[in-house]
Amino acid sequence: MVENPRQAYGALLVMVVAAISGIIIASGFVAPDRVMQGNGVWIYLSAVGVMIGCAIISWLTDLPGILFREFGSGGGEY
């Protein structure tokens, strides 16, 4: 059980958003022609901006530490 749900699930949300942004950014390298058509450019640039925002949030709040404290192994405690 998490000790601070707001902090724990907020950190988890940042990680999920960063993962989705990473998939969109990776698609720009795999299929650049498709990404550069229509609104794909704006979606790609938005994903880059969101990824930068997630990196800044991670740096300011010690995101790995929060995730380890809340969801990490507690030595087999149940």
Tell me the pLDDT tens digit for each residue of 6-52.
988 999 999 999 999 999 999 989 988 888 888 888 999 999 999 99
Q: Give the closest residue to 61 by CA, choosing from 2, 27, 13, 26.
A: 13
pTM: 0.81
Residue 78 lies in a domain: no
Q: Are 4 and 65 in contact (CB under 8 A)?
A: no
Amino acid identity for residue 51 in this structure: M
Please report the pLDDT score of residue 57 as a whole number: 93
What percent of the chain lies above the pLDDT cut of 90? Answer: 51
Residue 60 lies in a domain: yes
Determine the structural domain holding residue 21 and report its residue range.
5-70
d(CA 13, CA 28): 23
Please report the pLDDT score of residue 38 as a whole number: 83
d(CA 46, CA 63): 22
Residue 25 lies in a domain: yes
- Overall domain count for the chain: 1
Residue 45 lies in a domain: yes
Please report the pLDDT score of residue 75 as a whole number: 52
Q: Give the closest residue to 23 by CA, choosing from 58, 48, 60.
A: 48
Please report the pLDDT score of residue 32 as a whole number: 87
